[in-house]
């Protein structure tokens, strides 16, 4: 029956299975096991077409008949397992886990606790917890699966690869990089031992290992693994697949971190080409934004501005445009205009960024403080000194709200206020703000080795001298 299925599409297969159910019911009577097998197969065909309600109904009919004839049998366990997949797709997570555990219990009873099918169901339980976002539970079940598979297969069997990978990815999400690397490298090892050199699972492993190295700060190692993944994916998937776009985008970011602007732009340009083919406007905006960052780093301000402005146009085409991403682009564009003294344009961009950032993150967010801090600089250059002061006072309020009194960001905010008051000629207030900065720095153990601390200390001394000189003149 499985071979027949391979030779026809799901609709024809389902049609023949439905005919078989009628024939078996006519010959053997209703509720016969052969009809149950056909109903199970119909459920699978519906599932492949994402007809979840029809699939669940067929599985339920098959389950009822199998329980009637077989009781706690592995065929019952298999149907329960398939039903759990449908319930998971319907986001009925609790019921999905309940059926998987029931299936596991039957398989342990019938086949023994170390059987391969028990290991498979154990993995599925971990997978449900994983996709629910319950990583601690998922990790525990994946590790149980690994133990079972080593008994049921061997210590180096290729089937261990998926569990090694799942464990490694959870540990990566938890920033436990050394341990994540151990599991991901084991996944790569067992897969390379059994699978062809050019295999998508191996390519994914290489990509995942690369990202662990990236987050560990080992950019050169990260690039090495991603380049191997990219080469393999091009062979297997062609040059226009979304995973090629994704890998190129990641490589562009990493080349940029190394200061290799030409390679960064080449990779991002390739990602851009694929995204243009798919009319993926949101991703196009992201890529253009990243290209703008690279051009700016390379000193090509004109091209950087062009990329940011193009990114904004694509973001506006998105029917469900992400305000946060637009704010990021406006912020970057504002920085560029600020750097070229296009102050009115810079302020316009920062105002857009501020509105969206408040909406996305809240008025007390550190993202809002970053925008306000940059706006202060532009206000000062425009001669709007009271506006500049108001922005920096708001930055200080947000930093203290989020970090308390003793934090480097709070100390830096005090320092910046001191600088602004100094430029306004308000020496007594400037000295107080510099002293506040020094107090905050000292509270967290930062001293003379920190440049901002050293500058604040020097400014307090210079202001003291100036005030003393002024006092002497009036005596």
DSSP state of 112: -
**Nearest-CA neighbor of 230 among 173, 197, 238, 274?**
238
For the chain, helix, strand, coil in percent to 5 are 80, 0, 20
Q: Which structure tokens are listed for 218?
A: 């080992």
**Nearest-CA neighbor of 99 among 81, 111, 73?**
81
Three-state DSSP at 258 gives coil
How far is it, in rounded angstroms, from Cα 210 to Cα 225? 5
How far is it, in rounded angstroms, from Cα 265 to Cα 172? 28
Tens-digit pLDDT profile for residues 413-433 = 999 999 999 999 999 999 999
Backbone angles phi, psi at 176, to 5 degrees: -95, 75
Q: From the CB of residue 457, how many other CB atoms can be counted at a distance below 10 Å?
A: 18
Q: What angle do CA 129, 135, 137 make, to 5 degrees?
A: 60
The pLDDT score that the predictor gives to residue 473 is 65
The pLDDT score that the predictor gives to residue 11 is 83
Burial grade of 245 (CB within 10 A; 0-12, 13-18, 19 or more): buried
**Nearest-CA neighbor of 359 among 327, 399, 403?**
327
The pLDDT score that the predictor gives to residue 324 is 47
Q: From the CB of residue 195, how many other CB atoms can be counted at a distance below 10 Å?
A: 14
> Is the Cβ–Cβ distance between 126 and 142 less than 8 Å?
yes
**DSSP letters for 252-272:** HHHHHHTT-HHHHHHHHHHHH
> Is the Cβ–Cβ distance between 46 and 17 less than 8 Å?
no
- Token look-up 């993926």 returns 280
How far is it, in rounded angstroms, from Cα 289 to Cα 325? 9
Which residue stretches of the chain have pLDDT < 70?
1-8, 319-325, 470-475
Backbone angles phi, psi at 120, to 5 degrees: -60, -45
Q: How many residues does the chain have?
A: 475
How far is it, in rounded angstroms, from Cα 362 to Cα 354? 10
């Amino acid at each position: 029956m499985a071979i027949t299925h391979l030779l026809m599409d799901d609709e024809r297969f389902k049609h023949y299975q439905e005919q078989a159910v009628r024939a078996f019911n006519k010959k053997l009577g209703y509720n016969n096991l052969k009809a149950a097998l056909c109903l199970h197969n119909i459920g699978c065909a519906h599932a492949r077409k994402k007809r979840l309600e029809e699939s669940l109904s067929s599985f339920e009919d098959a389950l009822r008949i199998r329980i009637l004839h077989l009781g706690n049998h592995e065929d019952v366990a298999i149907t329960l397992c398939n039903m759990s997949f449908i319930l998971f797709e319907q986001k009925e997570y609790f019921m999905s886990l309940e059926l998987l555990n029931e299936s596991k219990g039957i398989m342990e009873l019938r086949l023994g606790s170390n059987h391969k099918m028990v290991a498979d169901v154990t993995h599925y339980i971990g997978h449900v917890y994983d996709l629910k976002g319950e990583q601690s539970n998922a990790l525990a079940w994946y590790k149980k699966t690994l133990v079972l598979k080593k008994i049921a297969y061997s210590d180096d069997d290729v089937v261990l690869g998926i569990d090694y990978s799942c464990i490694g990815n959870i540990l990566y999400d938890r920033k436990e990089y050394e341990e994540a690397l151990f599991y991901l490298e084991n996944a790569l090892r067992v897969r390379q031992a059994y699978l062809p050199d050019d295999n998508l699972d191996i390519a994914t492993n290489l990509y995942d290992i690369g990202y662990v190295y990236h987050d560990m700060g080992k950019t050169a190692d990260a690039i090495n693994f991603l380049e191997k993944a990219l080469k393999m994916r091009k062979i297997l998937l062609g040059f226009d697949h979304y995973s090629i776009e994704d890998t190129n985008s990641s490589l562009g970011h990493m080349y940029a971190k190394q200061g290799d602007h030409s390679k960064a732009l080449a990779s991002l340009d390739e990602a851009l080409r694929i995204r243009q083919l798919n009319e993926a406007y949101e991703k196009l905006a992201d890529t253009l934004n990243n290209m703008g960052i690279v051009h700016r780093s390379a000193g090509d301000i004109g091209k950087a501005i062009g990329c940011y402005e193009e990114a904004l146009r694509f973001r506006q085409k998105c029917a469900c445009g992400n305000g946060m991403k637009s704010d990021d682009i406006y912020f970057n564009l504002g920085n560029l205009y600020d750097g070229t003294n296009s102050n009115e344009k810079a302020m316009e961009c920062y105002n857009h960024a501020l509105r969206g950032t408040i909406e996305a993150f809240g008025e007390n967010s550190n993202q809002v403080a970053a925008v306000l801090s940059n706006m202060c600089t532009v206000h000062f250059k425009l001669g709007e000194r009271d506006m500049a002061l108001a922005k920096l006072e708001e930055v200080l309020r947000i930093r203290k709200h989020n970090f308390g009194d003793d934090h480097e960001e709070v100390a830096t905010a005090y320092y910046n206020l001191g600088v602004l008051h100094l430029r306004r000629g308000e020496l007594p207030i400037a000295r107080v703000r510099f002293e506040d900065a020094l107090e905050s720095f000292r509270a967290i153990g930062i001293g003379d080795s920190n440049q901002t601390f050293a500058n604040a200390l020097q400014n307090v001394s210079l202001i003291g001298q100036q005030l003393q000189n002024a006092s002497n003149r009036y005596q």
